Amino acid sequence: MNVNHDAPIPEQQHIWKHLDRFAIEVPSWGFANTGTRFGKYLQPAAAHTLEEKFADAAQVHRLTGASPSIALHILWDFPNGIKDVAKVRELSQQYGVRAGAINPNLFESQIYKFGSFGNPDPKVRKYALDHVLESVAIARELGNVDLSLWFADGSNYPGTQNIRHRIDWFTECLAKTHDALAPGQRMLVEYKPFEPAFYHTDIADWGMALLFARAAGPQALVLVDTGHHYQAQNIEQILAWLQHQQMLGGLHFNDRRYADDDLTLGSIDPYQAFRIFHEIQFYQWEHPEATAPAYVIDQSHNMKNKIEAMVQTVLTAQELYAKACLVDYAQLATLQQECRLVEAEECLRSAFWTDVRPTLRAWRQAHGLPEEPLLALHNSGYIEQISKERCSKNQAAASSYV
């Protein structure tokens, strides 16, 4: 494919326009050492400090041009709470990456053994609520960024908890959280069918999240994690319902083979990620006034090099998003209305099978980005550099872990 970088063809112009406004947030925890319930394998280049996470996030954005913000985790990134806001602002200015969604930590402390917002003990619920309210204040100080709420709350054995009472406790705490939001702030309620609670989870599916968000108030929306579903569940249908109800706030992207595997986007089922982008863009084609949901990466890179995996994920997201931009929605709408099934499916499939990589390379060159970001990362020596700088800290962590 011969590409004129100065004058892209109409199809390229269409993709370029969409790529110019596409952004996907990277998670701070994606650069740090993480693991499974069975252990973790430490990497010499893993980030230990918040500055190292910002540096790695800036490297990803520098290579891809699509990740201008970094999601932050209270407790891991704000050990001193709201006092660390000034440091975050300083790092944001230094590295050119703004602070993104704020994620409270409601699962690591020993006090949450029997839950946080759903805990039968009112003292524990107050402890959890105080933590979330501080997170709201931090998000407000950083520019009214999203508050992202995920709860590990639930139970493992029948009869051990009163599910109905826990619904009331969650409703009360979420309403108080919503009341603390500033104008323009959003509260995103996430769901997960199981893990670590295996009998019942307090917010187990999109319907529960929707009801809780609606009860909390108009600034509360639903957050969909692509890994938080049972096998064969139709995530696009869930998105369609949430968009139809104007309740889709954002997506956490990863891939999975079994459940919440946190694999890199598109590594198992790229067609699903394409269908997700398609469903969102189809809705926006019908409702141009609609606000696009927030796109955030939520992956645990345990085996792959963390920065390589993050760059790979962003590139995959750009590619699948660009493919979805090629769907002829006017034609598809007509084919659907006339029930021309094969033609309608082929209208979708032809966009998916289009090779958009040459167009992406041309877009990157036009924007002063490396045409092959992974190759540029390898040639930059950045991974080798940070491995040397951080190796001793990771070795010390490895010895203490063993």
Cα 294 to Cα 230: distance, rounded to the nearest angstrom:
23
Helix (H) or strand (E) holding 331: helix 329-337
Instruction: Report the C-alpha gap between 146 and 320 in whole angstroms.
Output: 25
Report the SS3 class of residue 60. Answer: helix
Helices (H), 180-305: 206-216, 235-244, 270-286
Q: Does some domain include residue 2?
A: no
Q: How many domains does the chain have?
A: 1
Amino acid identity of residue 174, one-letter, is L
CA dist., res. 17 & res. 126, Å (int): 47
Is 120 part of a structural domain of the chain? yes
Query: Does residue 57 fall inside a structural domain?
Result: yes
Is 93 domain-assigned? Answer: yes
Q: To the nearest 10°, report the CA torsion of 113, 118, 122, 128.
A: 70
Most distant CA atoms of the chain, gap in Å: 67
Q: Tell me, yes or no, whether 275 lies in a domain.
A: yes
In a domain, 199, yes or no: yes
Secondary structure (DSSP) of 340-388:
-HHHHHHHHHHHHTS--HHHHHHHHHHTT--SSHHHHHHHHTHHHHHHH
Residue 237: Cβ within 10 Å count: 11
Q: What is the pLDDT along the chain (402 residues), one digit of tens a residue?
A: 344 445 567 778 899 999 999 999 999 999 999 877 777 888 999 999 999 999 999 999 999 999 999 999 999 999 999 999 999 999 999 999 999 999 999 999 999 999 999 999 999 999 999 999 999 999 999 999 999 999 999 999 999 999 999 999 999 999 999 999 999 999 999 999 999 999 999 999 999 999 999 999 999 999 999 999 999 999 999 999 999 999 999 999 999 999 999 999 999 999 999 999 999 999 999 999 999 999 999 998 889 999 999 999 999 999 999 999 999 999 999 999 999 999 999 999 999 999 999 999 999 999 999 999 999 999 999 999 999 999 888 776 655 544
The CA–CA distances, whole Å, from 324 to 13, 277, 377 equal: 14, 6, 27
Domain that holds residue 129: 10-401
Which CATH number does the domain housing residue 93 bear?
3.20.20.150
pTM of the complete model: 0.95
Give the up-direction half-sphere exposure of residue 168: CA atoms within 13 A in the CB hemisphere. 5
In a domain, 106, yes or no: yes
Cis peptide before 196 (omega within 30 of 0): yes
